[in-house]
Amino acid sequence: MEEETNFIEIFKILWKKKLIIILVTLLFMVMGGYYSIQIKVPKYKSTTTLLLAQNSSAETQGIENEITQTDISLNQKLVSTYSVLVKSKSVLDQVLENLNMDRSLEEELKKNIEVKAVEDTQVIEITYINEDSNVAYKVASELANVFCKKIVEIYNINNVYIVDKAEIAEEPYNINYIKTIIIFAIIGVGLSCMTVFIISLFDTTVKTQEDVENSTGLVVLAQVPEIKSGGKER
């Protein structure tokens, strides 16, 4: 019963200051929108999907072979190796040269490449992240093209195929306007409620008849009305 009473008291305190809480919450929502639009840097992703198929080398061309479990198992092991090769210096240098980009961007290029080997499959996803959606698309596309050619050069096999080509992203992947505004709104509600409650705890001034009774434990028998300058009671 006492816990219920305390909850009611807290609710009354917050309800009295509801306008302040609402205004602070709205202010934080505006801040969230401003942060999403003006401060946070939008970044775009572009992804190319590659598939490791049955080996096709100079020795096996022209010979029909069924894809065996051994082929699949071998390709799955090669996925890890290929994932590392995507970020190799030889691949990155060729991509920079083909796109007429400065060689000094090699480290930045490497840092913004994501290579994901889909578990228990022969699929590799190559993703490039950039603040410009067109750059992200061009680099992701060229990475796939150069990588496929390098595999032929290095291993003398042609078993990597582009399944899904890269596309230009229309929306940044790192910004969700609605989600950001909601998060800021929750922060605003939490901070304003906590501030109002803490201030009320340290506020010892007596404002109402109920405050007098709660602080003294006595019953108020009468009240002295406030007299306005015109002689009227308030």
How much of the chain, in percent, has pLDDT values that exceed 70?
74
Question: Could you tell me if residue 197 is inside a domain?
Answer: yes
Question: Could you tell me if residue 17 is inside a domain?
Answer: yes
Torsion (CA) 102, 107, 113, 119 in degrees, nearest 10: 140
Total domains, the chain: 2
pTM metric for this prediction: 0.66
Question: Could you tell me if residue 106 is inside a domain?
Answer: yes
Assign 129 a pLDDT band (cuts: 50, 70, 90): very high
**What is the predicted pLDDT for the residue at 60?**
43
Q: Does 24 lie in the same domain as 110?
A: no
- Given a cut of 50, whether residue 67 has pLDDT beyond it is no
Structural domain that includes position 88? 44-164
pLDDT digits (tens, 9 = 90+) for 84-108: 889 999 999 999 999 999 888 899 9
Mean pLDDT (the chain) is: 81
Q: Does 35 lie in the same domain as 66?
A: no
**What is the predicted pLDDT for the residue at 154?**
84
Question: Could you tell me if residue 122 is inside a domain?
Answer: yes
Question: Could you tell me if residue 21 is inside a domain?
Answer: yes
Q: Does 110 lie in the same domain as 48?
A: yes
**What is the predicted pLDDT for the residue at 216?**
64
Q: Does 149 lie in the same domain as 82?
A: yes
Residue that wins the pLDDT comparison between 131 and 63: 131
Question: Could you tell me if residue 230 is inside a domain?
Answer: no
Q: Does 26 lie in the same domain as 48?
A: no
**What is the predicted pLDDT for the residue at 104?**
86
Residue that wins the pLDDT comparison between 118 and 225: 118
Torsion (CA) 183, 184, 186, 189 in degrees, nearest 10: 180
- Given a cut of 60, whether residue 134 has pLDDT beyond it is yes
**What is the predicted pLDDT for the residue at 58?**
43
* Alpha carbon distance 66, 69 (integer Å): 10
Q: Does 146 lie in the same domain as 57?
A: yes
Question: Could you tell me if residue 210 is inside a domain?
Answer: no
Q: Does 88 lie in the same domain as 68?
A: yes
The structure tokens listed for 56 are 């096709």
How many Å is the Cα radius of gyration of the chain? Answer: 33
